[in-house]
Structure 1
Amino acid sequence: MEVLDYHKLKIFKTVADTRSFSKAAELLFLSQPTVTLQIKKIENYLGITLFKREKKGVVLTEEGKLLYQYASKILDDYSLLEEGLSNLRENLQRNLRIGASTTIGDFLLPDILPDFIKNKGDIKVNLFVGNSKEIEEGILSKTFYIGLIEDEVHSNKYEKFEFFSDEIILIASKNTNIPDVIEPENLKKYKFVFREQGSGTRNIIEKKLEKKGVRIKADIEISSSKAIARFVANSDYLSFVSRLVVKNLLGVHLKEVKIKGIKFTRKFYCITQKNIRLPKLDREFINYLISIE
């Protein structure tokens, strides 16, 4: 016996709302044959026809309209059940788990997180700092629900939104005689310190330079942006870092070197796993990120 479970009712309602099997499949990240099969199973179980085809798409039959009324209420009640259980869990344990890529975790969150938690009472914050690839993996494994990364993701497994604009700059020791502005092709004359493979900063720099026909290699790899800044300040190596990393060092130990015709800007992204209900505290933090100017 086929059961009218949440999954089938969700598919049915999405088809009815979009008036399209293909659009419903896209929204639910299913194949169109899968959506068609699930609708057919409902029809076979109930012994009715749910949709009829018209020029502008599929529309509900009279039987379909009746099922739609009850399905909508069932799905709403299910959402209320999830909300109630989530609130109960929040009352038992208020724990905010965040994964952040290095620049965000080391240089942005320490400035903005205290403002969020100051009026939250007794909460516990767990912050994991790694590279963008590690953050993406942590989201999928549910090690944490919120990921803050420096590199855009293209997988449909994540919900994402922009929350901060950043600039990556080329830095050198203040004691070097490198010009303040250089041509892109002259980058090859210098030695570079890069972040490790998988770093959002490194990915953006390499992609942008390759589009300009410039390839430079990492002579040294260091996984800490803070360590890179100190290394450059005491050497003749160059590196690309977020302006956030060196904002207090420019003009003191480091100087910015501009590349003619090239500027590196990027967005920081918040990602969560798609189709997962976040705890209340996590949703509040996301709303806080959205409000940051």
Structure 2
Amino acid sequence: MNIESLRAFHRVAETGNFTQVARELFLTQPAISMQIQNLEQSLGVVLFKRTCRSVRLTSEGELLYKYTQQIFGVLSELRNAFQEIGELQSGDLTIGATAIMGAYWLPFFVNSFHHRYPRIKIRMVICNSHKLADKLQNGELEIGFGGSSSGHPTLQQHFLHREPLILVAGKQSALAASHRMLQAADITRETMIMREQGARMTDKVAKWLKKHAPRANPPMIVTVDNMEVTKQMVIDGLGITALPRHAATRELENGALVPLPVKDFSMHTNYFLVTQPNTTFSRTTRAFLSTLFEHGVPIAEEMLH
């Protein structure tokens, strides 16, 4: 029993005409008859009652026809599904990202992709850089957007963007109102609202303060694992924070946050597209990377094919 014999049987059952089916399948009538005979021998049954004027299904033929309807119905659905995937009319896109990349850098590109391919289901997995690298290493994700994954040397990092870090305060803050160049020692006297110890940005600021205000006591730290909450606490006057400039665009424009001029505070954070080496991406992932490329993001062309 093979799929071609089943296809020949299925079409003869539907049309009752060996000659018509032979034309459809680009075979001779004897070849179609031979396929039916081989199928009958394989199953040990007679499938058709043949007369000089007609071809009718036997009860066994009726049973097999019910199954071939299911078989070729599923094959038709499968063909249509993959055609839609090929045309990006259906499918899934999963993007891994750190919180800052997911909240402040990626939305523009996700929105652009969604408008072009509205039937693609989009899922964004948000986690820190270490967990993101783990998920990529384990094959749970195809692509991830975040900071350096130097702890996973087998992963490939593709540089995307360098963003300056800025120190900000609420507009009612005394530091914001002073309108003077601040020193590192001024910062140590403030409450700083930051990510947990060990987070890349928190460690950078701690090292900077230790270098530029070595004799000062370290500032009081309030740890918050959410950038939006951090910004709101700063706006409400509970302290100051350091963050990537693009994470505060809206609040800087409306004046809710004020950038603090601090002597020698010149730091940045790098963002990367992280992947497994030699990955063959799905159609939806390639389409998303193409969206980034079209908007000027430095995506290597070999990743798009």
Q: 1:121 to 1:249 in 2, by over 3 A?
A: closer
Alignment of structure 1 residues 151-162 onto 2, 5 Å? 151=148, 153=150, 155-162=152-159
Q: Are 2:278 and 1:281 aligned?
A: no
Instruction: Say which of 154, 162, 169 aligns to 2:166.
Output: 169
Shift of 1:152: 5.5
Structure 2 length normalisation: TM-score? 0.60
Structure 1 or 2, whichever has the larger Rg, is 2
Q: 1:271 to 1:282 in 2, by over 3 A?
A: same
Question: Given that residues 95 and 124 in structure 2 are in contact (C-alpha distance below 8 angstroms), is that contact kept between their aligned partners in structure 1?
Answer: yes
CA distance in 1, matches of 2:270, 2:250: 21
Q: 1:291 to 1:160 in 2, by over 3 A?
A: farther
Q: 1:277 to 1:221 in 2, by over 3 A?
A: same
Q: 1:213 to 1:152 in 2, by over 3 A?
A: farther
Alignment of structure 1 residues 64-79 onto 2, 5 Å? none
Q: Are 2:146 and 1:149 aligned?
A: yes
**1:38-69 per-position Cα deviation (integer Å, ceiling 9, x unaligned):** xxxxxxxxxxxxxxxxxxxxxxxxxxxxxxxx
Aligned equivalent of 2:136: 139
Instruction: Say which of 255, 259, 267 aligns to 1:256.
Output: 259
Q: 1:203 to 1:136 in 2, by over 3 A?
A: farther
Aligned equivalent of 1:195: 195
Shift of 1:202: 2.7
Worse-superposed segment, 192-201 or 219-228: 192-201
Q: 1:212 to 1:284 in 2, by over 3 A?
A: farther
Q: 1:284 to 1:197 in 2, by over 3 A?
A: farther
**1:205-239 per-position Cα deviation (integer Å, ceiling 9, x unaligned):** 34555565658456211111111000011124111
CA distance in 2, matches of 1:235, 1:115: 36
Question: Given that residues 166 and 265 in structure 1 are in contact (C-alpha distance below 8 angstroms), is that contact kept between their aligned partners in structure 2?
Answer: yes
Kindly tell me the number of residue pairs found equivalent between the two proteins: 207
Shift of 1:158: 1.1
CA distance in 1, matches of 2:166, 2:194: 13
**1:102-160 per-position Cα deviation (integer Å, ceiling 9, x unaligned):** 11111222222111232225211110112222211221122221110034636321111
Aligned equivalent of 1:106: 103
Q: 1:152 to 1:259 in 2, by over 3 A?
A: farther
Superposition CA RMSD, Å: 2.8
Alignment of structure 1 residues 229-244 onto 2, 5 Å? 229-244=231-246
Question: Given that residues 151 and 203 in structure 1 are in contact (C-alpha distance below 8 angstroms), is that contact kept between their aligned partners in structure 2?
Answer: no
**1:156-196 per-position Cα deviation (integer Å, ceiling 9, x unaligned):** 21111122232221111111111443112332111111112
**1:2-48 per-position Cα deviation (integer Å, ceiling 9, x unaligned):** xxxxxxxxxxxxxxxxxxxxxxxxxxxxxxxxxxxxxxxxxxxxxxx
1:114 match: secondary structure: helix
Question: Given that residues 190 and 219 in structure 2 are in contact (C-alpha distance below 8 angstroms), is that contact kept between their aligned partners in structure 1?
Answer: no
Q: 1:187 to 1:90 in 2, by over 3 A?
A: same
Question: Given that residues 170 and 256 in structure 1 are in contact (C-alpha distance below 8 angstroms), is that contact kept between their aligned partners in structure 2?
Answer: yes
Worse-superposed segment, 128-137 or 228-237: 128-137
CA distance in 2, matches of 1:153, 1:209: 24
Question: Given that residues 129 and 149 in structure 2 are in contact (C-alpha distance below 8 angstroms), is that contact kept between their aligned partners in structure 1?
Answer: no
Q: 1:94 to 1:133 in 2, by over 3 A?
A: same
Determine what percentage of the aligned residue pairs are the same residue: 18
Question: Given that residues 172 and 236 in structure 1 are in contact (C-alpha distance below 8 angstroms), is that contact kept between their aligned partners in structure 2?
Answer: no
Q: Are 2:289 and 1:292 aligned?
A: no
Q: Are 2:224 and 1:222 aligned?
A: yes
Q: Are 2:173 and 1:205 aligned?
A: no
Aligned equivalent of 2:93: 96
Q: 1:200 to 1:142 in 2, by over 3 A?
A: farther
Question: Given that residues 172 and 233 in structure 1 are in contact (C-alpha distance below 8 angstroms), is that contact kept between their aligned partners in structure 2?
Answer: yes
